[in-house]
A and B are shown apart, each in its own frame.
Chain A
Amino acid sequence: MSGEMTIAFKLNRRSVKIKADGERMLLWVLRDDLGLTGTKYGCGESQCGACTVVINGEAVRSCRVPLKSVAGKEVLTIEGLARGKALHPLQKALIRHGAIQCGFCTPGMILNAYSLLNRKPVPGPAEIREGMEGNLCRCGCYGRILEAIASAAEEMKTGRTR
């Protein structure tokens, strides 16, 4: 194999340095080398969103992100979203709304929504729907996820204005 290199980036607000083939996809480095299994494999071709992580504020599909491309960037995975025991409003909202069944798509859903709210703090229902369209949930929690995101956005807005 080629391309063994040392790549430094921020992972969940901490600096990490990893020596690996830079062509490997971030998903597998996270799940195996770094032991962060909250990021899921669903399809390996950007079709389902289960592997979504946030890089520099933007949701991306980690199954298609070469490790070398995250050098110097800030990567956020589901494990880094809560602050200590305090869950992020999106996490609380999905739990509160019963928007989780098998839970396999959930980390990707939450991080995609996180990036959506970064871009658009108070999205309308159609904007949420559109922004989430690329994430698949076979259990069919869509309606509740939409409600949960709207409710989290509301909570975050109130939090900010306070």
Chain B
Amino acid sequence: MSETRQDAEVNLFSAPAEALGRRDFLKWLGPGLYVFFSTEEGLLLGQEARGGGRGYPEDFNAYLRIAEDGQVTCYTGKVELGQGIIASLAQMLAEELPVPFEAIRMVFGDTRLCPWDGGTNGSRSIKYFGPALRAAGAEAREVLRQLAAETLKAAPEKVQLEKGTASVSGDPQKKIGFGLLTRGKTIERHLPKKPPLKPAGAFQVCGRSLPRRDLEEKATGAARFAGDVRLPGMLYGRVLRPPAHGARLKNLDTSRVSEVPGALLVREGDFVGVVHPKPDLADKAMERIRAEFDLPELRWDAQSIHEHLLAAGPRENVLESRGDLARGQALAVEHFDEIYRTPYVAHAPMETHTALAQVGPEEATLWIGTQRPFGAQEEIARLLNLPADKVHVITPYVGGGFGGKSSIGQAIQAARLSRAVGKPVQVAWTREEEFYYDTFMPAAVVRIRSGLDRDRRIVYWNYEVFYAGDRSSQNFYNVPHLRTAARGGWSGGGSGPHPFGTGAWRGPGSNTNIFARESHIDTMAARAGMDPLEFRLRNLTDPRMIRVLRAAADRFGWKPARTPSRRGHGVVCLDYLGTYVAAMAEIEMPSGGGPIRVRRVVHAQDMGPVINPEGARMQIEGGIIMGLGYCLTEEIRFQGGRIDDLSFSRYEIPRFSWTPKIETVLVDNPEIPPSGGGEPPNVGMGGLIGNALFDAAGVRLTRFPFTAARIREKLA
């Protein structure tokens, strides 16, 4: 399965089903798609680096341009969602191409200017795009050296490159700025042999907390998001939303739309929209439409969905298998069999999905708040029946994504409306629409059967995950007899077992898999009568994991105790696509049961060399806060395709008062290449807080969120 295929799978279900007919679905899918498989890491590495169908370009000019005045523009198909690559990618470029960090301007997610990219997701910007960018910088540097040598009439090895200037050693009069060497043009020369990248030990620009240039714009209101783009003559659009996914339009009365002067109705079959020069008046016009829908049978709700998922029985994908489970069972003296369930969780970015589309007969330009500008380009091109290169997608700052802005349903709506009225149309989803059309973290089920031998070592481990996918499901503990299998992936949608769209949610699958595994490990530790940290260390040999656990324990001041110790201390450790994390937490639970208050979180993370430590800390703190949401309150309630939580008053996300004391430890590790840091912080939160809850109250909750009601029910 190729990377682009995987993207097709995502956007397929991300587009609001109502906006597309079934034929469109099939067309988009193409033949032969499917299922999200193991060895993801290897696949991604290969494809993002070399290109599976489409990959990163070889020509370094695709990544950078040096203007005559020495200003360097760095082009990336990644987008700035708040994660701070505006600084860290510029640092990676400046590391190889010796120009001042301040001279680099970043251009994100513009399909006309930037090299192709599969999307900003999976904590992959540093890990996979970083090396491509650095390679471009390194080659440009050596070409500049040659050009300088020729211009300055010196031997190349005598040419020194520093701060955007080439000079000749021993002859200070001879120097020239990079801008004068390139004159702002594409550099035609290339090297037959690519120069090596700097080893981490030699980093001078990376590893420093250099400032993010976007913060000032964001603090003054000058930063432009998709909804802030204005074009002459543009209109604002709204599209009729059915009461439930899968509902079909039965009767429509649009006669009152004309009560709002200036409103224009658009109708293409079941696609019904209005446009107006004022956004709020477009709302008013939409409110005047009366529509009746035929509802499908609303089966499954938040309580019954897991049985449905188990019954759907998707094909099994065995991810790892060793030893012999039967033999392991024979060796075990303690047996465990637990089922873990996780709910649908919303992304709820502060900026709702927003896009502005200007569609003409021959070409289209769209400003989209998206995590996948190139995926959006292809989707929109298909929708409009235009060649992809006639669709220009521009990505302004994105107001949070977390995986949810991989879907571009709002851009499809905007493009359809713009095509219909022949003017630019902006669609900004209401908060209600944002919840309704969201591609949720999928509800999922994990079953783990395991056993301990007399030495309190894990002797067998039989792991099955349904619908969360394989990410972070593999076991890094020492287990001789083991089997891990995934059924169904984290994408979904109306045609899958889910009653609505699902998709990537900040570490897709991992939040579920790690919650299940680390809860289970804790349960085993408790039955073994061991401190949960000691139990983990006893069953681990991976030195990186042991080191990151020790780093967390040192900072936390972990004192061994059997659980439940009533102190409310929890521990978790994990491997997220090669980034290692250990975290510890202290929670407080009022007597009689919740709501839990999380007092302190210590988070140790080993992601290899850290490009921008302050930026990494910001991501870690944010991930911990976001993760607290699904630990404590977040869970979408629904009846079939009808989403019942459509506002922040019903769907509670973390607030100021939740904020624990957070301490981060960035574990120094120059041995591996720089790895991802944005998702590892939140994916362990379910296990961490669940384990702390068990330690506090002796109550093991096998599904999140850990609401006061669930805790009280268990205590009763």
Contact of B216 among A35, A44, A45, A87 (CB under 8 A): A87
CB distance from B228 to the nearest CB of A (A): 4
Question: A153: CB under 8 A from chain B?
Answer: no
A102 vs B396: C-alpha distance when bound (angstroms):
11
- Of the residues A81, A135, A138, contact of B220 by C-beta under 8 Å: A81
Q: Which residue of B lies closest to A80 (CB)?
A: B221
- Least CB separation from A90: chain B residue: B219
Task: Tell me, rounded to whole Å, the shortest Cβ–Cβ distance linking A127 to chain B.
Answer: 12
Cβ contacts under 8 Å, B445 to chain A:
none
Contact residues in B for A42 (Cβ distance below 8 Å): 350-352, 431
Say which residue of A47, A48, A101, A106 sits within 8 Å of B622 (CB atoms): A101
A91 and B214 CA atoms in complex are apart in Å by 13
In the assembled complex, the Cα of A45 lies from the Cα of B221 at a distance in Å of 21
Contact, CB under 8 Å: A39 / B221: yes
Q: Is A122 an interface residue, CB under 8 A from the partner?
A: no
CB pair A43–B83 under 8 Å, yes or no, is no
Name the A residues within 8 Å of B230 (CB-CB).
35, 37
A104 and B219 within 8 A (CB): no
Please pick, from A32, A44, A100, A141, the residue contacting B219 in the complex, using a CB distance under 8 A.
A100
Cβ-defined contact, A142 with B656, below 8 A = yes
Contact A142 B83 (CB under 8 A): no
| Residue B278 is within 8 A (CB to CB) of chain A in the complex | yes
B34 interfacial contact with A, CB 8 Å: no
Contacts of B279 in A (CB 8 A): 28, 31-32
Chain B interface size, as a band, is: 35 or more
> CB-nearest residue of chain A relative to B236?
A32
Q: Which residues of A contact B221 (CB under 8 A)?
A: 36-39, 77-79, 107
Contact present for A143 and B350 (CB under 8 Å): no
Query: Which residue of chain B is the closest to A129 with respect to CB atoms?
Result: B656
Q: 0/1 per residue, B312-354, Cβ < 8 Å to A?
A: 0000000000000000000000000000000000001111100
* Alpha-carbon gap, A43 to B214, bound state (A): 24
**What is the CA–CA distance of A32 and B82 in the complex, to the nearest angstrom?**
25
Tally A-B pairs: CB < 8 A. 177
- Chain B stretch 428-447: residues in CB contact (< 8 A) with chain A: 428, 430-431
B350 close to A140 (CB less than 8 A): no
B260 adjacent to chain A (CB < 8 Å):
yes
Choose, from B54-62, B106-114, B126-134, B623-631, the stretch at the interface: B623-631
Tell me the smallest distance from the CB of A20 to a CB of chain B, in Å: 9
Q: How far is the CA of A138 from the CA of B614 in the complex (A)?
A: 19
Q: Are B625 and A140 in contact, with the CB atoms below 8 A?
A: yes
| B215 x A1 contact (CB < 8 A) | no
Query: Per-position contact with B for A1-29: 1 when CB-CB < 8 Å, else 0?
Result: 10000000000000000000000110110
How far is it, in angstroms, between the C-alpha of A30 and the C-alpha of B254 when the chains are bound?
A: 29
A60 within 8 A of B: no
**Chain A residues whose CB sits within 8 angstroms of the CB of B224 once the complex forms:** 37
- A43 touches which one: B82, B227, B397, B648 (CB < 8 A)? B648
A91 to B350 Cα, complex, angstroms: 19
* Cα distance, A55 to B281, chains bound together (Å): 24
Q: Is B546 an interface residue (CB 8 A)?
A: no
A residues 81-115 in Cβ contact with B at 8 Å: 81-82, 87, 91-92, 94-95, 98, 100-107, 110
- Is A70 part of the binding interface, using a Cβ–Cβ cutoff of 8 Å? no
Tell me whether B351 and A110 are in contact (CB under 8 A). no
| Inter-chain contacts of B216 with A (CB < 8 A) | 87, 91, 95
Not counting A1-B260, A44-B430, a sample of 4 additional A-B residue pairs whose C-beta atoms are within 8 angstroms of each other reads A1-B284, A42-B352, A78-B220, A102-B397
10 closest cross-chain pairs (CB), A and B: A38-B221, A140-B625, A103-B218, A102-B82, A104-B399, A101-B82, A78-B221, A140-B622, A37-B228, A47-B648
